[in-house]
Chains A and B, each alone.
Chain A
Protein backbone atom coordinates (compact mmCIF):
# COMPACT_ATOMS: atom_id res chain seq x y z
CA UNK A 1 0.00 0.00 0.00
CA UNK A 2 2.82 2.37 -0.86
CA UNK A 3 0.38 4.88 -2.31
CA UNK A 4 -0.52 6.18 1.15
CA UNK A 5 2.98 7.53 1.68
CA UNK A 6 3.70 11.27 1.60
CA UNK A 7 7.24 12.40 1.14
CA UNK A 8 8.83 15.83 0.81
CA UNK A 9 12.50 16.21 -0.12
CA UNK A 10 14.35 19.52 0.21
CA UNK A 11 11.13 21.31 -0.59
CA UNK A 12 11.59 25.02 -1.25
CA UNK A 13 9.01 27.58 -2.21
CA UNK A 14 8.96 31.37 -2.55
CA UNK A 15 5.85 33.41 -3.17
CA UNK A 16 5.73 35.35 -6.44
CA UNK A 17 6.74 38.54 -4.59
CA UNK A 18 9.96 36.78 -3.54
CA UNK A 19 9.02 36.06 0.09
CA UNK A 20 10.51 32.66 0.92
CA UNK A 21 7.95 30.40 2.65
CA UNK A 22 9.65 27.01 2.66
CA UNK A 23 13.44 26.70 2.80
CA UNK A 24 14.23 23.00 2.41
CA UNK A 25 11.60 20.86 4.12
CA UNK A 26 12.05 17.08 4.21
CA UNK A 27 9.95 14.36 5.83
CA UNK A 28 8.39 11.00 5.05
CA UNK A 29 4.99 10.02 6.35
CA UNK A 30 4.13 6.32 6.23
CA UNK A 31 0.86 4.59 5.50
CA UNK A 32 -1.77 5.08 8.24
CA UNK A 33 0.32 7.54 10.26
CA UNK A 34 -1.31 10.50 11.94
CA UNK A 35 1.03 13.47 11.95
CA UNK A 36 0.62 16.88 13.57
CA UNK A 37 2.15 19.91 11.90
CA UNK A 38 2.73 22.80 14.26
CA UNK A 39 4.48 26.14 14.00
CA UNK A 40 3.98 29.83 14.66
CA UNK A 41 1.95 32.02 12.29
CA UNK A 42 3.86 32.36 9.06
CA UNK A 43 6.04 29.30 9.73
CA UNK A 44 4.90 27.80 6.42
CA UNK A 45 2.28 25.27 7.53
CA UNK A 46 -0.46 26.30 5.10
CA UNK A 47 2.03 26.69 2.26
CA UNK A 48 3.33 23.20 2.91
CA UNK A 49 -0.19 21.75 2.91
CA UNK A 50 -0.93 23.42 -0.43
CA UNK A 51 2.05 21.54 -1.87
CA UNK A 52 0.66 18.19 -0.80
CA UNK A 53 -2.37 18.49 -3.11
CA UNK A 54 -0.56 20.34 -5.86
CA UNK A 55 -2.31 23.70 -5.38
CA UNK A 56 1.26 25.01 -5.24
CA UNK A 57 4.15 23.38 -7.04
CA UNK A 58 7.65 23.32 -5.53
CA UNK A 59 10.19 25.93 -6.68
CA UNK A 60 12.89 23.38 -5.73
CA UNK A 61 12.84 19.86 -4.30
CA UNK A 62 10.08 17.29 -4.68
CA UNK A 63 6.86 16.11 -3.12
CA UNK A 64 5.75 12.53 -3.67
CA UNK A 65 2.36 11.08 -2.89
CA UNK A 66 2.81 7.32 -2.98
CA UNK A 67 4.83 6.52 -6.09
CA UNK A 68 3.75 9.66 -7.86
CA UNK A 69 5.74 12.91 -7.86
CA UNK A 70 3.44 15.93 -7.58
CA UNK A 71 3.72 17.72 -10.93
CA UNK A 72 1.34 19.44 -13.30
CA UNK A 73 0.83 16.17 -15.18
CA UNK A 74 -0.05 14.08 -12.13
CA UNK A 75 -2.44 16.56 -10.48
CA UNK A 76 -5.68 14.64 -11.11
CA UNK A 77 -4.17 11.48 -9.65
CA UNK A 78 -2.70 13.30 -6.65
CA UNK A 79 -5.92 15.16 -5.90
CA UNK A 80 -7.81 11.92 -6.08
CA UNK A 81 -5.72 10.39 -3.30
CA UNK A 82 -5.16 13.49 -1.15
CA UNK A 83 -8.26 15.04 0.42
CA UNK A 84 -7.76 18.56 1.77
CA UNK A 85 -9.90 20.12 4.47
CA UNK A 86 -9.37 23.87 4.43
CA UNK A 87 -9.21 26.19 7.39
CA UNK A 88 -12.39 28.14 6.63
CA UNK A 89 -15.26 25.83 5.65
CA UNK A 90 -16.82 28.79 3.83
CA UNK A 91 -14.03 28.49 1.27
CA UNK A 92 -14.87 24.88 0.73
CA UNK A 93 -18.66 24.88 0.65
CA UNK A 94 -19.32 26.66 -2.61
CA UNK A 95 -22.31 24.79 -3.98
CA UNK A 96 -25.93 25.83 -3.38
CA UNK A 97 -26.80 22.97 -1.02
CA UNK A 98 -24.79 20.66 1.21
CA UNK A 99 -25.84 17.62 -0.84
CA UNK A 100 -24.68 19.20 -4.09
CA UNK A 101 -21.46 20.29 -2.44
CA UNK A 102 -20.66 16.79 -1.22
CA UNK A 103 -21.43 15.50 -4.72
CA UNK A 104 -19.09 18.05 -6.33
CA UNK A 105 -15.93 15.91 -6.17
CA UNK A 106 -17.53 12.60 -7.28
CA UNK A 107 -19.35 14.37 -10.14
CA UNK A 108 -16.04 15.84 -11.30
CA UNK A 109 -14.61 12.35 -11.20
CA UNK A 110 -17.33 11.49 -13.75
CA UNK A 111 -18.72 8.69 -11.59
CA UNK A 112 -22.10 7.21 -12.51
CA UNK A 113 -25.14 8.73 -10.76
CA UNK A 114 -25.78 5.78 -8.44
CA UNK A 115 -22.17 5.82 -7.26
CA UNK A 116 -22.33 9.59 -6.64
CA UNK A 117 -25.51 9.09 -4.65
CA UNK A 118 -23.98 6.27 -2.58
CA UNK A 119 -20.91 8.35 -1.78
CA UNK A 120 -22.95 11.41 -0.82
CA UNK A 121 -25.15 9.34 1.46
CA UNK A 122 -22.28 7.49 3.11
CA UNK A 123 -20.07 10.57 3.59
CA UNK A 124 -22.88 12.56 5.15
CA UNK A 125 -23.66 9.60 7.40
CA UNK A 126 -19.98 9.32 8.39
CA UNK A 127 -20.00 12.87 9.78
CA UNK A 128 -23.56 12.64 11.13
CA UNK A 129 -24.92 15.28 8.77
CA UNK A 130 -27.61 13.48 6.77
CA UNK A 131 -30.18 16.02 7.95
CA UNK A 132 -28.19 18.90 6.41
CA UNK A 133 -28.33 17.53 2.88
CA UNK A 134 -30.91 19.95 1.44
CA UNK A 135 -29.73 22.99 3.45
CA UNK A 136 -27.81 25.89 1.88
CA UNK A 137 -24.33 26.22 3.45
CA UNK A 138 -24.78 29.83 4.53
CA UNK A 139 -27.45 28.78 7.01
CA UNK A 140 -25.29 26.28 8.89
CA UNK A 141 -23.52 26.71 12.24
CA UNK A 142 -19.72 26.55 12.40
CA UNK A 143 -19.72 22.90 13.50
CA UNK A 144 -22.21 21.91 10.81
CA UNK A 145 -20.17 23.69 8.15
CA UNK A 146 -17.06 21.84 9.26
CA UNK A 147 -18.90 18.49 9.15
CA UNK A 148 -20.26 19.25 5.67
CA UNK A 149 -16.79 20.26 4.42
CA UNK A 150 -15.30 17.01 5.73
CA UNK A 151 -18.10 15.01 4.08
CA UNK A 152 -17.26 16.73 0.77
CA UNK A 153 -13.70 15.48 1.05
CA UNK A 154 -14.64 11.97 2.25
CA UNK A 155 -16.92 11.58 -0.78
CA UNK A 156 -13.81 11.48 -2.97
CA UNK A 157 -12.62 8.49 -0.93
CA UNK A 158 -9.07 9.78 -0.52
CA UNK A 159 -6.26 7.70 1.01
CA UNK A 160 -4.70 10.69 2.75
CA UNK A 161 -6.46 13.45 4.65
CA UNK A 162 -4.76 16.84 4.93
CA UNK A 163 -6.32 19.30 7.36
CA UNK A 164 -5.59 22.96 8.03
CA UNK A 165 -6.73 24.07 11.51
CA UNK A 166 -9.75 21.75 11.56
CA UNK A 167 -10.77 22.80 15.08
CA UNK A 168 -10.60 26.58 14.59
CA UNK A 169 -13.81 28.40 15.37
CA UNK A 170 -15.54 25.39 16.92
CA UNK A 171 -17.19 25.37 20.34
CA UNK A 172 -15.84 22.82 22.85
CA UNK A 173 -18.47 20.20 22.11
CA UNK A 174 -18.15 20.52 18.32
CA UNK A 175 -14.38 20.31 18.81
CA UNK A 176 -14.67 17.09 20.88
CA UNK A 177 -17.02 15.60 18.27
CA UNK A 178 -14.56 16.49 15.52
CA UNK A 179 -11.63 14.87 17.33
CA UNK A 180 -13.66 11.69 17.94
CA UNK A 181 -14.68 11.68 14.28
CA UNK A 182 -11.12 12.12 12.99
CA UNK A 183 -9.82 9.45 15.40
CA UNK A 184 -12.22 6.99 13.77
CA UNK A 185 -10.76 7.55 10.27
CA UNK A 186 -8.25 4.98 9.06
CA UNK A 187 -6.67 7.37 6.54
CA UNK A 188 -3.15 8.68 6.68
CA UNK A 189 -3.69 12.05 8.39
CA UNK A 190 -1.72 15.28 8.34
CA UNK A 191 -3.12 17.91 10.68
CA UNK A 192 -1.79 21.47 10.82
CA UNK A 193 -2.98 23.26 13.95
CA UNK A 194 -2.27 25.67 16.78
CA UNK A 195 -4.52 23.52 18.93
CA UNK A 196 -1.75 21.50 20.61
CA UNK A 197 -4.21 19.59 22.79
CA UNK A 198 -5.94 18.30 19.69
CA UNK A 199 -2.58 17.29 18.19
CA UNK A 200 -1.80 15.43 21.43
CA UNK A 201 -5.16 13.59 21.18
CA UNK A 202 -4.98 12.84 17.50
CA UNK A 203 -1.38 12.46 16.34
CA UNK A 204 1.33 10.05 17.41
CA UNK A 205 3.98 12.06 15.58
CA UNK A 206 4.55 15.81 15.32
CA UNK A 207 6.58 17.94 12.95
CA UNK A 208 7.50 21.45 14.09
CA UNK A 209 8.04 24.05 11.39
CA UNK A 210 10.01 27.21 12.06
CA UNK A 211 10.69 29.87 9.46
CA UNK A 212 10.18 27.46 6.59
CA UNK A 213 12.35 24.64 8.01
CA UNK A 214 11.67 21.49 10.01
CA UNK A 215 12.78 22.34 13.58
CA UNK A 216 11.77 19.01 15.06
CA UNK A 217 10.19 15.75 13.97
CA UNK A 218 9.39 12.99 16.46
CA UNK A 219 6.85 11.41 18.78
CA UNK A 220 4.24 13.97 19.85
CA UNK A 221 4.78 13.34 23.57
CA UNK A 222 8.51 14.10 23.29
CA UNK A 223 8.21 17.08 20.94
CA UNK A 224 5.44 18.81 22.84
CA UNK A 225 7.24 18.25 26.16
CA UNK A 226 10.32 20.17 24.95
CA UNK A 227 9.44 23.62 26.27
CA UNK A 228 12.66 25.20 25.07
CA UNK A 229 12.09 24.02 21.51
CA UNK A 230 8.45 25.16 21.48
CA UNK A 231 9.32 28.58 22.92
CA UNK A 232 12.08 28.98 20.35
CA UNK A 233 9.60 28.24 17.57
CA UNK A 234 7.01 30.73 18.81
CA UNK A 235 4.65 28.13 20.30
Chain B
Protein backbone atom coordinates (compact mmCIF):
# COMPACT_ATOMS: atom_id res chain seq x y z
CA UNK B 1 0.00 0.00 0.00
CA UNK B 2 2.79 2.52 0.73
CA UNK B 3 3.83 1.93 -2.88
CA UNK B 4 0.35 2.86 -4.08
CA UNK B 5 0.79 5.94 -1.95
CA UNK B 6 4.03 6.79 -3.78
CA UNK B 7 2.39 6.16 -7.13
CA UNK B 8 -0.39 8.59 -6.27
CA UNK B 9 2.12 11.23 -5.24
CA UNK B 10 3.71 10.75 -8.65
CA UNK B 11 0.36 11.45 -10.29
CA UNK B 12 0.49 14.67 -8.33
CA UNK B 13 3.87 15.26 -9.98
CA UNK B 14 2.27 14.69 -13.37
CA UNK B 15 -0.31 17.28 -12.49
CA UNK B 16 2.31 19.85 -11.52
CA UNK B 17 3.83 19.43 -15.00
CA UNK B 18 0.43 20.54 -16.25
CA UNK B 19 0.96 23.92 -14.61
CA UNK B 20 3.67 24.81 -17.19
CA UNK B 21 3.12 27.45 -19.83
CA UNK B 22 3.94 26.11 -23.30
CA UNK B 23 2.07 26.28 -26.64
CA UNK B 24 0.67 22.78 -25.91
CA UNK B 25 -0.46 23.76 -22.42
CA UNK B 26 -2.12 26.90 -23.75
CA UNK B 27 -4.35 24.89 -26.12
CA UNK B 28 -7.99 24.58 -25.09
CA UNK B 29 -8.56 21.34 -23.13
CA UNK B 30 -11.45 20.50 -25.46
CA UNK B 31 -9.16 20.53 -28.50
CA UNK B 32 -6.69 18.22 -26.79
CA UNK B 33 -9.45 15.98 -25.48
CA UNK B 34 -11.10 15.51 -28.88
CA UNK B 35 -7.73 14.99 -30.58
CA UNK B 36 -6.73 12.39 -27.98
CA UNK B 37 -10.03 10.54 -28.32
CA UNK B 38 -9.69 10.52 -32.11
CA UNK B 39 -6.12 9.29 -31.66
CA UNK B 40 -7.24 6.39 -29.47
CA UNK B 41 -9.97 5.43 -31.93
CA UNK B 42 -7.45 5.53 -34.78
CA UNK B 43 -4.96 3.38 -32.88
CA UNK B 44 -7.47 0.66 -32.02
CA UNK B 45 -9.14 0.65 -35.44
CA UNK B 46 -6.23 -1.06 -37.25
CA UNK B 47 -6.46 -4.79 -38.07
CA UNK B 48 -5.30 -7.02 -35.23
CA UNK B 49 -1.95 -8.05 -36.67
CA UNK B 50 -0.93 -4.57 -37.78
CA UNK B 51 2.46 -3.39 -36.54
CA UNK B 52 4.26 -1.22 -39.11
CA UNK B 53 1.28 1.00 -39.88
CA UNK B 54 0.97 1.92 -36.18
CA UNK B 55 4.48 3.32 -35.97
CA UNK B 56 3.84 6.82 -37.42
CA UNK B 57 1.19 7.39 -34.75
CA UNK B 58 3.95 7.71 -32.14
CA UNK B 59 4.77 11.07 -33.71
CA UNK B 60 1.67 12.61 -32.12
CA UNK B 61 2.38 12.04 -28.40
CA UNK B 62 6.12 12.50 -28.94
CA UNK B 63 5.59 15.90 -30.57
CA UNK B 64 3.21 17.00 -27.78
CA UNK B 65 5.62 15.86 -25.08
CA UNK B 66 8.55 17.61 -26.75
CA UNK B 67 6.75 20.92 -27.24
CA UNK B 68 5.08 20.63 -23.84
CA UNK B 69 8.49 20.02 -22.17
CA UNK B 70 7.32 16.85 -20.41
CA UNK B 71 10.16 14.39 -19.65
CA UNK B 72 9.80 11.23 -21.78
CA UNK B 73 11.24 9.15 -18.95
CA UNK B 74 8.31 9.98 -16.69
CA UNK B 75 5.70 8.85 -19.23
CA UNK B 76 7.84 5.77 -19.95
CA UNK B 77 7.87 4.87 -16.26
CA UNK B 78 4.08 5.09 -16.01
CA UNK B 79 3.75 2.94 -19.12
CA UNK B 80 5.99 0.32 -17.55
CA UNK B 81 3.93 0.40 -14.36
CA UNK B 82 0.75 -0.25 -16.31
CA UNK B 83 2.28 -2.67 -18.82
CA UNK B 84 1.56 -5.93 -16.94
CA UNK B 85 -2.12 -5.48 -17.84
CA UNK B 86 -1.35 -5.25 -21.56
CA UNK B 87 1.03 -8.20 -21.35
CA UNK B 88 -1.66 -10.26 -19.60
CA UNK B 89 -4.16 -9.44 -22.34
CA UNK B 90 -1.89 -10.54 -25.18
CA UNK B 91 0.41 -13.15 -23.70
CA UNK B 92 -1.57 -16.16 -24.94
CA UNK B 93 -1.88 -14.95 -28.52
CA UNK B 94 1.41 -16.56 -29.65
CA UNK B 95 0.15 -19.91 -28.31
CA UNK B 96 -3.29 -19.68 -29.88
CA UNK B 97 -2.42 -18.32 -33.30
CA UNK B 98 0.56 -20.28 -34.71
CA UNK B 99 -0.01 -19.52 -38.37
CA UNK B 100 3.25 -18.30 -39.97
CA UNK B 101 2.48 -15.03 -41.71
CA UNK B 102 5.91 -13.52 -42.41
CA UNK B 103 9.63 -14.20 -42.45
CA UNK B 104 11.97 -11.63 -40.92
CA UNK B 105 15.49 -12.63 -41.93
CA UNK B 106 15.51 -16.35 -41.24
CA UNK B 107 12.87 -16.08 -38.55
CA UNK B 108 9.35 -17.35 -39.11
CA UNK B 109 6.87 -14.96 -37.50
CA UNK B 110 3.46 -16.28 -36.48
CA UNK B 111 0.26 -14.27 -36.45
CA UNK B 112 0.09 -14.67 -32.66
CA UNK B 113 3.39 -12.90 -32.09
CA UNK B 114 2.38 -10.12 -34.48
CA UNK B 115 -0.92 -9.55 -32.73
CA UNK B 116 0.81 -9.66 -29.32
CA UNK B 117 3.28 -7.01 -30.50
CA UNK B 118 0.38 -5.03 -31.95
CA UNK B 119 -1.45 -5.10 -28.60
CA UNK B 120 1.65 -3.83 -26.80
CA UNK B 121 2.06 -1.02 -29.35
CA UNK B 122 -1.56 0.00 -29.09
CA UNK B 123 -1.30 -0.05 -25.32
CA UNK B 124 1.76 2.23 -25.45
CA UNK B 125 0.02 4.54 -27.92
CA UNK B 126 -3.32 4.88 -26.16
CA UNK B 127 -2.12 4.98 -22.56
CA UNK B 128 0.80 7.18 -23.61
CA UNK B 129 -1.59 9.60 -25.30
CA UNK B 130 -3.85 9.71 -22.23
CA UNK B 131 -0.85 10.40 -19.97
CA UNK B 132 0.35 13.06 -22.39
CA UNK B 133 -3.07 14.69 -22.29
CA UNK B 134 -2.95 14.69 -18.49
CA UNK B 135 0.59 16.10 -18.34
CA UNK B 136 -0.22 18.86 -20.83
CA UNK B 137 -3.70 19.75 -19.57
CA UNK B 138 -4.01 18.70 -15.94
CA UNK B 139 -6.75 16.57 -14.46
CA UNK B 140 -9.01 19.49 -13.66
CA UNK B 141 -8.51 20.93 -17.14
CA UNK B 142 -9.54 17.60 -18.66
CA UNK B 143 -12.63 17.52 -16.42
CA UNK B 144 -13.52 21.10 -17.35
CA UNK B 145 -13.14 20.18 -21.04
CA UNK B 146 -15.35 17.12 -20.59
CA UNK B 147 -17.98 19.22 -18.86
CA UNK B 148 -18.01 21.77 -21.65
CA UNK B 149 -18.18 19.05 -24.28
CA UNK B 150 -21.44 17.88 -22.76
CA UNK B 151 -20.36 15.04 -20.46
CA UNK B 152 -23.00 14.58 -17.73
CA UNK B 153 -22.44 16.96 -14.82
CA UNK B 154 -22.74 14.17 -12.27
CA UNK B 155 -19.90 12.29 -13.98
CA UNK B 156 -17.63 15.33 -14.06
CA UNK B 157 -18.37 16.04 -10.39
CA UNK B 158 -17.51 12.42 -9.57
CA UNK B 159 -14.22 12.65 -11.44
CA UNK B 160 -13.28 15.84 -9.63
CA UNK B 161 -14.09 14.41 -6.21
CA UNK B 162 -12.33 11.16 -7.06
CA UNK B 163 -9.16 13.06 -7.77
CA UNK B 164 -9.42 15.00 -4.54
CA UNK B 165 -10.16 12.07 -2.26
CA UNK B 166 -8.05 9.34 -3.76
CA UNK B 167 -5.08 10.92 -1.98
CA UNK B 168 -6.92 11.01 1.33
CA UNK B 169 -8.00 7.39 0.86
CA UNK B 170 -4.47 6.29 -0.04
CA UNK B 171 -3.13 8.01 3.07
CA UNK B 172 -5.70 6.25 5.19
CA UNK B 173 -4.93 2.91 3.55
CA UNK B 174 -1.21 3.41 4.04
CA UNK B 175 -1.73 4.21 7.72
CA UNK B 176 -3.85 1.09 8.17
CA UNK B 177 -1.23 -1.11 6.55
CA UNK B 178 1.51 0.47 8.64
CA UNK B 179 -0.49 -0.01 11.83
CA UNK B 180 -0.97 -3.65 10.90
CA UNK B 181 2.72 -4.11 10.10
CA UNK B 182 3.74 -2.68 13.48
CA UNK B 183 1.65 -5.19 15.38
CA UNK B 184 2.25 -8.31 13.30
CA UNK B 185 5.16 -10.73 12.91
CA UNK B 186 7.68 -9.13 10.63
CA UNK B 187 7.73 -10.63 7.18
CA UNK B 188 4.48 -12.53 7.53
CA UNK B 189 1.84 -11.22 5.15
CA UNK B 190 -1.62 -10.53 6.50
CA UNK B 191 -4.12 -13.37 6.22
CA UNK B 192 -7.11 -13.06 3.94
CA UNK B 193 -9.31 -12.59 6.99
CA UNK B 194 -7.26 -9.63 8.22
CA UNK B 195 -7.06 -8.12 4.74
CA UNK B 196 -10.80 -8.44 4.39
CA UNK B 197 -11.36 -6.72 7.68
CA UNK B 198 -8.92 -3.90 6.84
CA UNK B 199 -10.51 -3.36 3.43
CA UNK B 200 -13.97 -3.42 5.01
CA UNK B 201 -13.01 -0.81 7.57
CA UNK B 202 -11.47 1.34 4.89
CA UNK B 203 -14.71 1.10 2.91
CA UNK B 204 -16.83 2.02 5.94
CA UNK B 205 -14.57 4.96 6.76
CA UNK B 206 -14.69 6.11 3.15
CA UNK B 207 -18.49 5.91 3.30
CA UNK B 208 -18.56 7.97 6.50
CA UNK B 209 -16.25 10.51 4.94
CA UNK B 210 -18.48 10.65 1.89
CA UNK B 211 -21.41 11.57 4.14
CA UNK B 212 -19.36 14.25 5.91
CA UNK B 213 -18.13 15.73 2.63
CA UNK B 214 -21.68 15.81 1.37
CA UNK B 215 -22.78 17.66 4.52
CA UNK B 216 -19.94 20.14 4.04
CA UNK B 217 -20.99 20.67 0.42
CA UNK B 218 -24.65 21.16 1.35
CA UNK B 219 -23.61 23.63 4.06
CA UNK B 220 -22.12 25.78 1.32
CA UNK B 221 -25.08 25.73 -0.98
CA UNK B 222 -24.33 22.67 -3.16
CA UNK B 223 -27.35 21.93 -5.33
CA UNK B 224 -26.29 18.83 -7.23
CA UNK B 225 -23.73 20.13 -9.67
CA UNK B 226 -20.41 21.87 -9.35
CA UNK B 227 -20.54 25.10 -11.31
CA UNK B 228 -18.15 25.47 -14.25
CA UNK B 229 -14.68 25.96 -12.83
CA UNK B 230 -12.75 27.61 -15.54
CA UNK B 231 -13.85 29.65 -18.46
CA UNK B 232 -12.42 28.07 -21.58
CA UNK B 233 -11.66 30.07 -24.67
CA UNK B 234 -11.46 28.52 -28.10
CA UNK B 235 -8.85 30.23 -30.30
CA UNK B 236 -7.66 29.82 -33.88
CA UNK B 237 -4.68 27.86 -32.62
CA UNK B 238 -7.11 25.26 -31.21
CA UNK B 239 -8.90 24.87 -34.53
CA UNK B 240 -5.56 24.59 -36.32
CA UNK B 241 -4.28 22.00 -33.83
CA UNK B 242 -7.44 19.92 -34.02
CA UNK B 243 -7.75 19.98 -37.80
CA UNK B 244 -4.03 19.24 -38.18
CA UNK B 245 -4.17 16.32 -35.77
CA UNK B 246 -7.30 14.80 -37.35
CA UNK B 247 -5.77 15.15 -40.83
CA UNK B 248 -2.62 13.39 -39.60
CA UNK B 249 -4.62 10.51 -38.08
CA UNK B 250 -6.60 10.14 -41.31
CA UNK B 251 -3.39 10.07 -43.30
CA UNK B 252 -1.91 7.37 -41.06
CA UNK B 253 -5.09 5.29 -41.08
CA UNK B 254 -6.15 5.54 -44.72
CA UNK B 255 -3.09 6.93 -46.53
CA UNK B 256 -0.75 4.11 -45.44
CA UNK B 257 1.74 6.69 -44.23
CA UNK B 258 4.24 4.13 -42.98
CA UNK B 259 4.38 2.44 -46.40
CA UNK B 260 4.86 5.84 -48.06
CA UNK B 261 7.62 6.74 -45.63
CA UNK B 262 9.30 3.36 -46.19
CA UNK B 263 9.19 3.76 -49.96
CA UNK B 264 10.61 7.29 -49.69
CA UNK B 265 13.43 6.00 -47.49
CA UNK B 266 14.25 3.19 -49.96
CA UNK B 267 14.26 5.60 -52.91
CA UNK B 268 16.61 7.94 -51.09
CA UNK B 269 18.93 5.00 -50.40
CA UNK B 270 18.93 3.92 -54.06
Residues of A within 8 A of B (CB): 50, 53, 55, 75-76, 79-80, 82-84, 86, 88, 90-97, 100, 104-105, 107-109, 136-139, 152-153, 156
Contacts and interface: CB of A to CB of B under 8 A. Distances in A.
Interface stretch (B45-53, B58-66, B100-108, B210-218): B210-218
Q: Identify the interface centre among B12, B164, B213, B220: most chain A CB within 10 Å of its CB.
A: B220
Contacts of B212: 86, 88, 91
B164 A156 contact: no
Given A108-B227, A139-B12, A96 B219 contact: no
Nearest to B215: A55
Given A91-B212, A91-B213, A79 B221 contact: yes
Interface residues of B, number: 26
Given A76-B221, A108-B223, A138 B168 contact: yes
Given A138-B12, A139-B12, A94 B164 contact: yes
A100 B226 CA distance: 11
A171 B163 CA distance: 28
B229 A90 contact: no
A152 B215 contact: no
Main secondary structure of the interface of A (DSSP, over half): helix
A43 to B, nearest CB: 19
B222 interface: yes
Nearest to A155: B220
B220 A105 contact: yes
B12 A96 contact: no
A53 B219 contact: yes
Contacts of A96: 139-140, 160, 163-164, 229
B213 to A, nearest CB: 5
B229 A152 contact: no
A86 B213 CA distance: 9
Given A50-B215, A94-B164, A136-B12, 17 more contacts: A53-B219, A79-B219, A79-B220, A80-B221, A86-B212, A90-B168, A91-B212, A91-B213, A94-B165, A94-B216, A95-B229, A96-B140, A96-B160, A104-B222, A108-B222, A138-B12, A156-B220
B248 interface: no
B226 to A, nearest CB: 8
Given A50-B215, A86-B216, A108 B221 contact: yes
Interface in B130-167: 139-140, 160-161, 163-165, 167
Nearest to A88: B212
Nearest to A116: B227
B252 to A, nearest CB: 35
Q: Identify the interface centre among A88, A93, A104, A139: most chain B CB within 10 Å of its CB.
A: A104
A156 B216 CA distance: 13
Main secondary structure of the interface of B (DSSP, over half): helix
Given A79-B221, A107-B227, A137 B216 contact: no
A109 B216 CA distance: 15
A50 B217 CA distance: 13
Given A50-B215, A94-B213, A108-B227, A137 B220 contact: no
B215 A86 contact: yes
Contacts of B222: 104, 108
A107 B226 CA distance: 9
4 nearest CB pairs, A to B: A108-B221, A105-B220, A91-B212, A138-B167
B221 A91 contact: no
B164 A95 contact: yes
A84 B184 CA distance: 41
A72 to B, nearest CB: 12
Contacts of A109: 221
A8 to B, nearest CB: 18
Contacts of A55: 215, 218-219
Nearest to B165: A94
A86 B167 CA distance: 19
Contacts of A93: 164
A156 B222 CA distance: 12
Given A79-B221, A107-B227, A91 B160 contact: no
A90 B170 CA distance: 13
A153 B220 CA distance: 7
